[in-house]
């Protein structure tokens, strides 16, 4: 006999599928179920619940990854560079149980392109010669790299390194943001480890008594340190030459050079030297100097805290076109739209149901007034027939009496 059963999906036993079993053979039919209560539950899971989970997960992943990256560029109250502020999820990888090879995947986020992270799930397949990638709905996805540690497969903010040997037909399900919200949490356990300060400071040159010696109104203002910053090997001194409108700089070692600065044309321009970005304004006098040095005391400095706060409105999603607030607002808007659409569909189906019931009742339903009238008519017919029987009996008795005489 044929039976219906609930089984785990191909890649993940926690994702349930409906299967049709007959003669010991089981065939998944989940995609063929579109109506009824079961179809509604499956549609909710596949069209609303899972995409929403991925969308919330993406927000969690991007927030954790970008915040941690910036936090590591700051200095804490212990004089140390910052570490991870948040715990972050890792991409989920599930191998097809029928894989014949020994290949395994190491999947990680590419911080240089984290803004390209999507809410899609992917299937990476091997045909015996080449690897190919598609989303779970069948859309092909291009990727670069060769899958090695030196050149990982790269796509949509994801790096994939393949280890071992794959066989033809092997495949893997990659879900980059599935656990992004579940695994999001605070990693920091000590408030003194909050890296609120910048790792460098910019000051004017001073005399032996620590007093500024510059005479112009030029200024250097720290903007940021690049993601490659580790530490300064020494102080970098910038000295202005008004005959050439340049700042010459040196750290007393291997780092030296010049930057052009015309106070009339370049006022407010940003420059980067030694992985440190700074903004120059005003008109310095000839010989005025500025010094970029390592920050050894994070007290009273909130430069990195401001950089962390700015991430709230930084465009870090949808290819660098949407910020965290925008992505969350879009998710809420999509949910509201889907909820309203479900309400409209429900009202429409209710109206159709009422029409169907009315049509059925017009053909086979019971009308109480009509049935009462029928009962009266049947009663009158019964009484009339009873009267006929009475008259016939009387006539029969009369005939019998006449014959007996």
Asked if residues 124 and 172 have their Cβ atoms less than 8 Å apart, the reply is: yes
Q: Which of 294, 327, 356 is the last residue of a domain?
A: 294
For residue 256, give the nearest of 242, 235, 280 by alpha carbon.
235
Q: How many CA atoms lie within 13 A of 43 on its CB side?
A: 12
Q: Is residue 205 domain-shared with residue 286, that is, in the same domain?
A: yes
d(CA 374, CA 393): 28
Q: Which two tokens stand for residue 312?
A: 């709230």
Residue 246 burial (C-beta neighbours within 10 Å; 0-12, 13-18, 19+): middle
Residue 55 burial (C-beta neighbours within 10 Å; 0-12, 13-18, 19+): buried
The answer as to whether 264 is a domain residue is: yes
The answer as to whether 27 is a domain residue is: yes
Per-residue tens of pLDDT for the chain, all 405 residues: 688 888 888 888 888 888 888 877 888 888 888 888 888 888 888 888 999 999 999 999 999 999 999 999 999 999 899 999 999 999 999 999 999 999 999 999 999 999 999 999 999 999 999 999 999 999 999 999 999 999 999 999 999 999 999 999 999 999 999 999 999 999 998 999 999 999 999 999 999 888 999 999 999 999 888 877 877 778 999 999 999 999 999 998 888 999 999 999 999 999 999 889 999 999 999 999 999 998 887 788 899 999 999 999 999 999 999 999 999 999 999 889 888 988 898 899 899 989 998 888 777 766 777 788 888 888 888 888 888 888 888 888 888 888 766
Asked if residues 100 and 164 have their Cβ atoms less than 8 Å apart, the reply is: no
DSSP 86-130: EE----EEEE-TT--S--EEEEEE-GGGGGG--S--EEEEE-SS-
Q: What phi, psi does 374 have (nearest 5°)?
A: -65, -40
The answer as to whether 233 is a domain residue is: yes
The answer as to whether 15 is a domain residue is: yes
138 alpha carbon, distance to own chain's centre = 19
d(CA 124, CA 366): 62
Q: Which two tokens stand for residue 165?
A: 């040997």
d(CA 34, CA 98): 29
Q: Which of 242, 277, 294 is the last residue of a domain?
A: 294
The answer as to whether 68 is a domain residue is: no
d(CA 117, CA 61): 9
Q: What is the pLDDT of residue 54?
A: 95
269 alpha carbon, distance to own chain's centre = 36
For residue 268, give the nearest of 252, 255, 256, 279 by alpha carbon.
279
The answer as to whether 173 is a domain residue is: no
Domain count, the chain: 3
d(CA 10, CA 114): 29
Q: How many CA atoms lie within 13 A of 95 on its CB side?
A: 17
Asked if residues 317 and 255 have their Cβ atoms less than 8 Å apart, the reply is: no
Q: What is the pLDDT of residue 405?
A: 60
Q: What is the pLDDT of residue 115?
A: 95
Q: Which of 250, 276, 294 is the last residue of a domain?
A: 294
Q: What is the pLDDT of residue 214?
A: 94
Stated length of the chain: 405
Q: What phi, psi does 375 have (nearest 5°)?
A: -65, -40
Task: Point out which residues pair with 159 in neighbouring strands.
Answer: 108, 154
Q: How many CA atoms lie within 13 A of 381 on its CB side?
A: 6
Asked if residues 304 and 318 have their Cβ atoms less than 8 Å apart, the reply is: no
**What's the domain range around 394?**
367-404
d(CA 255, CA 230): 15
The answer as to whether 378 is a domain residue is: yes
The answer as to whether 215 is a domain residue is: yes
What radius of gyration, in Å, describes the C-alpha atoms of the chain?
A: 40
Asked if residues 283 and 217 have their Cβ atoms less than 8 Å apart, the reply is: yes
Asked if residues 152 and 89 have their Cβ atoms less than 8 Å apart, the reply is: no
Asked if residues 259 and 244 have their Cβ atoms less than 8 Å apart, the reply is: no
H-run or E-run covering 281: strand 276-281
d(CA 90, CA 183): 9
């Amino acid at each position: 006999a044929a039976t219906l059963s609930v089984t785990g999906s191909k890649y993940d036993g926690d994702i349930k599928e409906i299967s049709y079993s007959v003669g010991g053979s089981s065939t998944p039919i989940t995609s063929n179920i579109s109506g009824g209560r079961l179809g509604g539950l499956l549609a909710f899971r596949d069209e609303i619940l899972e995409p929403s989970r991925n969308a919330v997960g993406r927000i969690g992943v991007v927030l954790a990854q970008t915040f941690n990256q910036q936090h590591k560029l700051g200095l804490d109250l212990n004089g140390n560079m910052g570490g991870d502020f948040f715990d972050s999820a890792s991409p989920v990888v599930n191998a097809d149980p029928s894989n014949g090879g020994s290949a395994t995947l190491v999947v990680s986020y590419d911080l240089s392109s984290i803004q390209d992270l999507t809410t899609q799930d992917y299937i990476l397949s091997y045909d015996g010669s080449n690897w190919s990638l598609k989303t779970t709905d069948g859309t092909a996805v291009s990727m670069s790299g060769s899958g090695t540690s030196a050149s990982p497969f790269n796509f949509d903010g994801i790096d994939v390194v393949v280890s071992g040997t794959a066989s033809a037909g092997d495949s893997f399900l990659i879900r980059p943001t599935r656990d992004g919200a579940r695994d999001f949490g605070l990693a920091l356990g000590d408030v003194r480890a909050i890296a609120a300060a910048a790792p460098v400071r910019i000051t004017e040159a001073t005399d032996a008594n620590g007093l500024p010696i510059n005479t112009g109104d030029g200024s250097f203002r720290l903007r940021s340190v690049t993601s490659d910053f580790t530490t300064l090997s020494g102080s970098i001194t910038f000295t202005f030459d008004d005959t050439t409108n340049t700042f010459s700089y040196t750290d007393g070692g291997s780092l030296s050079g010049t930057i052009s600065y015309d106070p009339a044309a370049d006022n407010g321009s940003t420059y980067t030297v030694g992985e440190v970005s700074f903004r120059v304004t005003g008109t310095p006098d000839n010989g005025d100097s500025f010094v970029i040095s390592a920050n050894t005391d994070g007290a009273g400095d909130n430069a990195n805290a401001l950089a962390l706060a700015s991430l709230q409105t930084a465009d870090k999603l949808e290819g660098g076109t949407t910020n965290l607030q925008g992505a969350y607002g879009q998710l809420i808007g999509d949910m509201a739209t889907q909820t309203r659409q479900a309400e409209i569909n429900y009202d429409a189906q209710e109206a159709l149901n009422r029409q169907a019931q009315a049509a059925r009742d017009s053909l086979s339903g019971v009308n109480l007034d009509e049935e009462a009238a029928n009962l009266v008519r049947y009663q009158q017919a019964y009484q009339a027939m009873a009267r006929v029987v009475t008259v016939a009996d009387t006539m029969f008795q009369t005939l019998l009496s006449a014959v007996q005489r």
